[in-house]
């Protein structure tokens, strides 16, 4: 080879000679070398290949009915919400499959359909979003809108929501760009009034404006370690165009705004919200219009990016009782499985389950509070049971739930003594 010196080693890939600035690594075969620069290029190619995601195959995406059937296994009640979410998520991934193919100028652009969930605490908003993400096997992140502040103020930048999704995807940004983000308590950052204030609304309208940018789709810069952005800091770049956003909130008082609008259009003959049952209230919330949300304090631009709004009803005692026993990961099933590891067979009477549900209603915690109630109820048993050898059995009764009697741990020992 002309121009190559026989006493100098060359990289077999780029052909450049090895020196103090270009280190060569020898292969097991003779006279085969690769320089550190080419190694770095190869590592980048391999890393990019590992973090790429295949185009979406719609044959692998469940149909809306299959989504709904899966949600039924984990979420009790909320039939309309499950149906609406199933359709929304299916349409979202159908839209993304279209983006994966070569498009022409004549192709119709399908816009993203983010979802707004309106429902009281403990009604299942977070569980619905999380269960959908598990079914799709996509990264999922949860954020609380009340912790977010506008850039430049003390608090958490809106972009940190995206960092949670990137972390959930183990740093695989292409996978994160197909994930789902659930932002709860969105109603808590509503403007205090419909009129724009001359003062800065750090945790209200400012945060809504910041959220709007990432929800509608943008190339966002995210600090890799979270926190505030700094000059000269290397940023992670993520495209939010295909991330599905599900926003949730209790929106206390929204039903009254809707009722006043309907009553005004009915010449004053509106029903009294205070006398409505939960089904009527949910039907009223499902008639929510963008104007109602603007009056509540959500900016019109953000409402425009949430075309689907779904109301969730407050769970009844019957719903909570079913939640305790029926889902695949029901709370009582979890505790039974845990106690089985300590050779203890645990049962609950129907009256005990009713009382636990009644306690959750009194505490106004919904389904979210059920686990803490059962956890507190069985704390002494979880402490003592591992020390009691042999097969054991306990039936949790209503008297145990209300505190009239305590689980008879000594009786568990006596039952194990030979006759």
Taking only the tens place, the pLDDT of each residue in 361-378 is 999 888 889 999 999 999
CATH 1.10.8.60 residue ranges of the chain are 317-402
Q: Are 130 and 122 in contact (CB under 8 A)?
A: no
pLDDT at 415 over 70: no
- On the CB side of 30, CA atoms within 13 Å amount to 0
Residue 186's nearest CA partner among 114, 254, 249, 121 is 249
Q: Are 77 and 124 in contact (CB under 8 A)?
A: yes
CATH code, 58-192+203-265+277-311: 3.40.50.300
pLDDT at 229 over 60: no
**Mean pLDDT on 298-319:** 90
Residue 181's nearest CA partner among 94, 306, 78, 81 is 306
pLDDT at 385 over 60: yes
Binding-site positions read 11, 14, 35, 38, 120-127
pLDDT, position 347: 92
Residue 160's nearest CA partner among 138, 184, 144 is 144
pLDDT at 195 over 50: no
Q: Using CA atoms, how far apart are residues 207 and 158, in angstroms rounded to an integer? A: 7
pLDDT, position 2: 44
Binding-site positions for Zn(2+) read 11, 14, 35, 38
pLDDT, position 5: 59
**Mean pLDDT on 14-32:** 78
- Residue 321 CB contacts under 8 Å (≥ 6 apart), including other chains: 353, 354, 356, 357
Assign 30 a pLDDT band (cuts: 50, 70, 90): low
- Of the CATH numbers 3.40.50.300, 3.40.50.2000, 3.40.50.720, 1.10.8.60, which one belongs to the domain with range 317-402? 1.10.8.60
Binding-site positions for ATP read 120-127
Number of H helices, E strands in the chain: 18, 11
pLDDT, position 67: 92
pLDDT at 266 over 60: no
pLDDT at 93 over 90: no
Query: 31-39 contacts: CB < 8 A, separation 24 or more?
Result: 33/9, 35/11, 37/11, 38/11, 38/13, 38/14
**Mean pLDDT on 195-208:** 60
CATH 3.40.50.300 residue ranges of the chain are 58-192+203-265+277-311
Q: Using CA atoms, how far apart are residues 399 and 405, in angstroms rounded to an integer? A: 6
Assign 318 a pLDDT band (cuts: 50, 70, 90): very high
**Whole-number mean pLDDT of the chain?**
81
């Amino acid at each position: 080879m002309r121009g190559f010196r026989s006493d100098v080693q060359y990289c077999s890939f780029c052909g450049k000679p090895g020196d103090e600035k270009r280190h060569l690594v020898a292969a097991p075969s003779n006279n085969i070398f690769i320089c550190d620069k080419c190694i770095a290029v190869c590592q980048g190619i391999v890393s990019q290949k590992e973090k790429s995601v295949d185009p979406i195959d719609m044959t692998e995406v469940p149909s809306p009915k299959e989504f709904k059937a899966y949600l039924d296994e984990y979420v009790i009640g909320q039939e309309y919400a499950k149906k609406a979410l199933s359709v929304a998520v299916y349409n979202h991934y159908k839209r993304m499959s279209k983006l994966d193919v070569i498009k022409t100028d004549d192709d119709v652009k399908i816009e993203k359909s983010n979802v707004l969930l309106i429902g009281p605490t403990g009604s299942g908003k977070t569980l619905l979003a999380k269960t959908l993400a598990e079914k799709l096997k996509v990264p999922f992140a949860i954020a609380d809108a009340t912790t977010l502040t506008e850039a430049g103020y003390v608090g958490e930048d809106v972009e940190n929501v995206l960092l949670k999704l990137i972390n959930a995807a183990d740093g695989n940004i292409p996978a994160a760009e197909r994930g789902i983000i659930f932002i709860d308590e969105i109603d808590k950052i509503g403007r205090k009034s419909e009129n724009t204030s001359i003062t800065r609304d750090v945790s209200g309208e400012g945060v809504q404006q910041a959220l709007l940018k990432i929800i509608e789709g943008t190339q966002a810069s995210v600090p890799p370690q979270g926190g505030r952005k700094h000059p000269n800091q290397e940023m992670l770049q993520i495209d939010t165009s295909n991330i599905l956003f599900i926003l949730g909130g209790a929106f206390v008082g929204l039903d009254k705004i809707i009722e006043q609008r309907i009553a005004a259009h009915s010449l004053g003959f509106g029903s009294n919200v205070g006398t409505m049952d939960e089904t009527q209230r949910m039907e009223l919330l499902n008639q929510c219009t963008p104007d109602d949300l603007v009056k509540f304090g959500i900016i019109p631009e953000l409402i425009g990016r949430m075309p689907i709004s779904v109301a969730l009803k407050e769970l009844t005692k019957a719903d909570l009782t079913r939640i305790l026993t029926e889902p695949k990961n029901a709370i009582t099933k979890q505790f039974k499985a845990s106690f089985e590891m300590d050779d203890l067979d645990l049962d609950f009477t129907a009256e005990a389950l009713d009382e636990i549900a009644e306690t959750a209603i009194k505490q106004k915690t919904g389904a979210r509070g059920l686990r803490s109630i059962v956890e507190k109820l069985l704390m002494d048993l979880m402490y003592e049971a591992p020390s009691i050898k042999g097969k054991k059995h306990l039936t949790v009764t209503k008297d145990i739930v209300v505190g009239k009697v305590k689980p008879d741990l000594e009786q568990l020992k006596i039952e194990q003594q030979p006759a």
